[in-house]
Amino acid sequence: MVKSLTELSSLTNVLLFEISEKIANNDVLQLNEEFDSELQINPNKIRILLDTIEKKLQNCEMIYYTYFEYLDHDALNGTTLTASKILDFEFSYYTKVIKKRIEINESSAYIDVINFEFQSYMLQLSSLYENIVRLTEMLLKKIIVHHKKGKPLSSPYYLLLEYWEILMKLSYRSADNCYNCVRSHHFFLNRYMDISNQLRNRYTHGYNSHLYHDGAEYRIKQLLNPPILNSSELVVDVFVEHVLRNTKQLISDFLGALVMDLQIPHQKIPM
């Protein structure tokens, strides 16, 4: 089965062009880098960051298409496989092609693989959002989760959103295209960012899969109290697909919003 992975170059090239134009016109402030030298407006660093976001998104896509798009809930219930399960995929992006073929001969091995790949997916996803945090910190002024001393081991996206809202309430920032973009994704972010970060932390420091079979479906154990997601949203393949689809849309919308704000006449960066 052939799958095309997300390509962000059409957006990232425009974004990098606008940043280069700001630098050429001397429309660059040192405000953020005074907090942390890593936040300096540097086109090469920003390009690497954008490339990393794209690669991590593509890796999440490969995990989803290979293991979760056609998840076999019966096999995860311990039903004996009548034949080896073959997972055979070809992924393409730009001029590149990646082929994967996996053969699984027992249902217990299939359970092991799904548990491991779900953990890999959540860790990759959390890392992707940390890269979005860093991009936001570099290009938007005052929204800084990292600190010069005692930097956190991780910078969850929901924490950045909390900082952003506080700055809005204090009138330190206004409702620009970037803020309106994030607000348009509020329902998804509010419901999924906290549980995603909890899974990330538990997979980094623990060993439990936090997945279980319930009747005919394989589910994620509810980690929050009170629960935010309903039972149907915690079916593991439903969860993975929903998070991936909304993340892809958020990234596309946010990069577009950055470009629109950069194109405002006399706009300086960080904005």
Gap between the Cα atoms of 90 and 120, Å rounded: 20
Phi, psi dihedrals of residue 159, rounded to the nearest 5°: -70, -40
> Is 189 within 8 Å of 158 (Cβ atoms)?
yes
Structurally, the chain folds into a number of domains equal to 1
Q: What is the pTM of this model?
A: 0.93
Tell me whether residue 96 is in a domain: yes
Gap between the Cα atoms of 21 and 257, Å rounded: 17
Tell me whether residue 267 is in a domain: no
Tell me whether residue 199 is in a domain: yes
Tell me whether residue 269 is in a domain: no
* pLDDT computed for residue 36 by the predictor: 76
pLDDT digits over 199-241, tens only?
999 998 888 899 998 888 999 998 888 889 999 999 999 999 9
Q: What is the largest CA-CA distance in the chain?
A: 67
Tell me whether residue 63 is in a domain: yes
Gap between the Cα atoms of 93 and 39, Å rounded: 30
Gap between the Cα atoms of 168 and 179, Å rounded: 9
> Is 145 within 8 Å of 152 (Cβ atoms)?
yes
Gap between the Cα atoms of 113 and 120, Å rounded: 10
> Is 1 within 8 Å of 39 (Cβ atoms)?
no
Tell me whether residue 271 is in a domain: no
| Average confidence score pLDDT of the chain | 92
In this structure, the number of other CB atoms found within 10 A of the CB of residue 157 comes to 24
> What's the domain range around 98?
2-262
Tokens 């704000």 correspond to 261
Enter the tokens of residue 63: 């995990």
Pairing label, strands 85-93, 2-4: parallel
pLDDT digits over 166-194, tens only?
999 999 999 999 999 999 999 999 999 99
Low-confidence ranges of the chain (pLDDT < 70): 146-153
Tell me whether residue 111 is in a domain: yes
Tell me whether residue 268 is in a domain: no
* pLDDT computed for residue 149 by the predictor: 64
User: Helix H segments across the chain?
Assistant: 9-24, 43-63, 73-76, 107-139, 157-169, 177-184, 186-205, 236-262
Helix (H) or strand (E) holding 220: strand 217-220
